[in-house]
Structure 1
Amino acid sequence: MRAWKLVATNLGRAEQVPYEVAVLPIGATEAHNLHLPYGTDTMQVEAIADTACAAAWEQGAEVMLLPSIGVSVNENTLEFPWTLSFKPTTILQMLRDIVSCLEHHRLMKLLIINGHGGNELKTFLRELYRETDVRIILVDWWMAGLQDMETIFDDPGEHGGQMETSLMLHLRPDLVEMEQADEGAVRTPSLTGMREGWAWVARPWDLLTTHSGVGNPAGSTAEKGAEYIERCSARISELLVEMANAPLDDWYPYESD
């Protein structure tokens, strides 16, 4: 029995564990080019969170993996059929309620592992800061392996490209239809500031892309996906161990004087 996974354990076992860190994965339900499943973000973040929690547990960190949230902020991608979206205010209220439950149960450290690029969760954490004593840390899982990304992938892509396709070829090859994929080309902005990267817009995904993909999936392999998952999961597990071992005092998560 995986005691670190809330949905897989039971009351008899769970009440015997002094859990130190809760882990909340957040995925999405959205189109990923023509060849990847709608649940790509959710499957990826669940696999990475589960692997990281298992490794941290083996090192003595008593972590609790919470059920994932499988719908995220996709207001600018809804033109693609069957994309599901929560408004940012909905995500905030869900996080607020989950954090309130953790505080009620006196589990005061939380790691949110974000698996969807459209989630701007830092703003939410700032709003929750004065509402709760739960100490919340946020990780976009792919950032944990950023230093290795260019060495593993020729052209990682952003959405349904080589990185995500490789991960899914490793995790769920039965759900990948490579013969359906397009090249993931995007349109060039007409505004100079956007082309140079210092001006920002909530990109209308149906104008930016052809079939929702950003990045060419050519060259994807299950081996590349497995290696990247391993590296990201290892770094996140190290963070979990550090969080579990860090004193929950007024200085957390910093070193005291």
Structure 2
Amino acid sequence: MRSKYKKNAKVAWMYWKAAKAYTEFEFQQVMKSLFRLHPEATAYLHEVGFDRWARAYFPGHRYNIMTTNIAESFNVLVKHARCLPITMLIEFIRDACTSPVTPWVEDKIAKRVRKSSNLEVRPITTERYQVLGSGQCQYDALVDLTEHTCTCRKFQLSKISCMHVIVVARYMKLTTCLQWVHSYYSTAFYRTVYADAVNPLGDQSKWLHPEETTVIHPPYVHRRRTGRPANKNRWPSQGEVVEQLICSRCHQPGHIRQNCRSPIPVPSSVPSSSERKKKDGK
């Protein structure tokens, strides 16, 4: 969406708002606003299919992850320790979490605790509750602790306690709501992923070297311009139309006037008045 409709930043913003919506009602409200703003972009998203990019229509569970680029998510996690050696980096990952859940989930729950301060709970049964909205949450919700569901859909889609579940836990006089957080977010599960040992390389003087050594010199680095270089090797997105450069001098594709190597066309000479008279007399 950024590349296809890059001239309209509000279209990309509304696209992400629709993609992150938990309920179909919220999604349709954003899509109506997007249709009034840019009908062409709305038609394009209809052709792609809502289940391929919208959380409200996705058939599986995203666990609150809206990207498939795990490298970027990992870099954000270890941005303070990326310069460490690999063994120290692994130890940082193992020891970074001291609570029952990961720091990201802790921060997420803390924000939802603040949002749930003005909510009111009305019990239906011992496992089902009605939460009346007020403040930042203007709509009511039904919480089912047995089925682990809430009508806001944040509870079942992210597998993290939403603000309605948090206020129910407060109503039940519980000190924590972590029992309704999925085990995937637990520190124990997180450490299990990196539980394998990482052996050191040993003394460098005892490394085996090949008999024929090849000296590889660093590449020659040209002096580049300031700013981020343009990425010309990027694969175009689905439906993206790649504009081809046309030279305004020779009218050939593939380059522009500044780097055109075609010879400059010689303008035809303008005949004088006497020559025109002779030509007309003949």
TM-score by length of 2: 0.22
TM-score by length of 1: 0.24
